[in-house]
Chains A and B, each alone.
Chain A
Amino acid sequence: MPGNKLRTAALAAGALALFLTAAPVQAPAQDATELLRQAVDAYAKYSYVGQVQNVDFGSTRAIAVLFRIEHRAPELTRRWYLAPESLYGESIISKGDTSYDIDPHQDRIVVVRDDAIEDQVAEDDNFGLLLHNYRAIMGPPENIAGRRAYAVLLVNRYDGQTVMRISVDADTKLVLEKERYAPSGSVSHQMHFENIRYTAGLPTDLFSVPTSGYTRVNGPSHGSPSADLRAVVKTAGFHALGPTYLPEGFVPLAGDVSEIKGIRTLHLIYSDGLRTVSIFENARGAAVDLTKYTIHSAKVHAHDAQYVLDGPTTLLAWAQGDLHLTLVGELSQTDLVRIASSVAP
């Protein structure tokens, strides 16, 4: 009947209009983004004990580390190493920006300070950059370490590459598993909780650093980097070079200048919110010592270059005129060579 048809058509049009107006608001990515935001904050909100496995995958082999972790929110953490055997018995206590590596084999404590850890403004800015350059896509529900979890894929908006998958606890939003992918699609790094138990009762004594019986050794202190890159480059005291090509979405973040063994070294870091690349420069002929790594050869224009792989991180070193340059980043060797080839005054 014409009346019924008309009513059906009107209902269909109304439903379509409702769908059209509601569609952007109900996009599943909205949940994924909120999940990511909560996951970033969860580390400082929840206390827990558990066991974690970290695996760094190189091109031909992998390095796995197993540790027990005790975390008292917001900033006290102790990691007890269970494997490999060479690390068994060692532990690292982190208190905010300072870490203490307690080595009972050599009766020493290595103290490392990193001021950047507490830079909340930089963290917020970088999270905005991450959302701008990456699409967060919900994966299927999972069960990790006996807990219900949501998977979120982070897909680069420019090349469609999935760079990371994180799985967050459905209740606390703590990251229970994380995989970082190489440009080839292979897994380059994996962090995985084997078990976890949330607790509010961790005593602070658990995080006290021994005061006797150990020799204290100060490792390098990493001060707060400056976002004023022009000032940083001027402070270097030599004519610094910079890359004229960076992968899409990368912007300069910060930099600093240090003197290592009397060599003034400029460090600039660039990021797209998830991946980063650093460039180190010195004008005093100090080459990088790669003797502990498997060295591969490359060419940066006509210059001989060397690169090594350290888990998901690649280091490329070469000399250009009076400068010794080193690129370090979670990018492929091909990407790093392309960036290196663009380095110019």
Chain B
Amino acid sequence: MMQHIDNETLIDYMHGALPPQADAAVYAHMETCAQCREQFEAEAALTEMLHSYAAATERDFPSTLKAEIWSRVRSAQPSFWSRVRDNLRPAVFVPVAAALALAAYFGSTLLSPHAPPSIEAAYYLQDHAALNTTVPFSDRNSSTPVDLQNGAMIAPSEETAVNVQPASYTADAGQ
């Protein structure tokens, strides 16, 4: 009497990765063993879920779209305003460039208090690593003092978690 098939072999069987003899043996065993068949169906359901997730989320451009875009670009004629702009370019370019340079010089000083803050890359790297800790063989011991100190550059008063309410409690849940 054959023992039950281990999970690894079942997954290999599902992926068609077993040698022919082993593949045939697994097939024959599952014909008579309800427990292994049930285990196989559970794995197959997971695979199906992964495939349907990938299929549902991946969208390709229609093959004709790119050709259509290029066709339109090539056939496009310069507009009236394009021609005017081209004709005036030397006359307009110098004063506009000078004005932009002045605006950049003075504007950076005047506007900086209202500019949005930037967020240190270290914060993103550390937050990624933090959510990564439940993944097997993640680098639990690889955060160095430098990583932790970089993360501390964002003071607690500057970083707070927002409570997430379960979707079923929201007014438009299920939409």
Chain A residues close to B by CB (< 8 Å): 19-25, 27, 29-30, 32-33, 36, 39-40, 43, 52, 54, 56, 65, 69, 77, 79, 81, 87, 90, 92, 99, 101, 103, 110, 112, 114, 116-117, 119, 122-123, 126-127, 130-132, 135-136, 157, 164, 166, 175, 178, 189, 191, 217-223, 225-226, 228, 230-232, 234-235, 243-246, 248-249, 251, 253-254, 256-265, 267, 269, 271, 273-274, 276, 278, 280, 282, 284-290, 292-293, 308, 310-311, 313, 315, 326, 328-329, 342, 344
Contacts and interface: CB of A to CB of B under 8 A. Distances in A.
Given A25-B9, A228-B166, A245-B58, A258 B161 contact: yes
Nearest to A259: B160
A185 to B, nearest CB: 19
A271 B161 CA distance: 22
Contact of A274 (B12, B19, B124, B136): B136
A180 to B, nearest CB: 8
B164 A287 contact: no
Contact of A123 (B12, B58, B128, B136): B136
A310 B150 CA distance: 14
B46 A289 contact: no
B163 to A, nearest CB: 8
B68 interface: no
Nearest to A55: B142
Contacts of B18: 24
Contacts of B21: 19-20, 23
B124 A220 contact: no
17 contacts: A23-B21, A23-B25, A24-B6, A25-B6, A27-B8, A29-B8, A65-B144, A79-B141, A81-B145, A110-B152, A131-B7, A132-B43, A136-B8, A251-B49, A276-B135, A280-B127, A289-B119
Nearest to B155: A218
The list of the 4 closest CB pairs from A to B, nearest first, reads: A222-B130, A122-B134, A231-B167, A219-B152
B88 interface: no
Nearest to B51: A248
A33 B164 contact: no
Nearest to A293: B121
Given A175-B137, A315-B121, A21 B11 contact: no
Contact of B15 (A110, A123, A157, A257): A157
Interface string B142-175: 1111101111101110111111111100100100
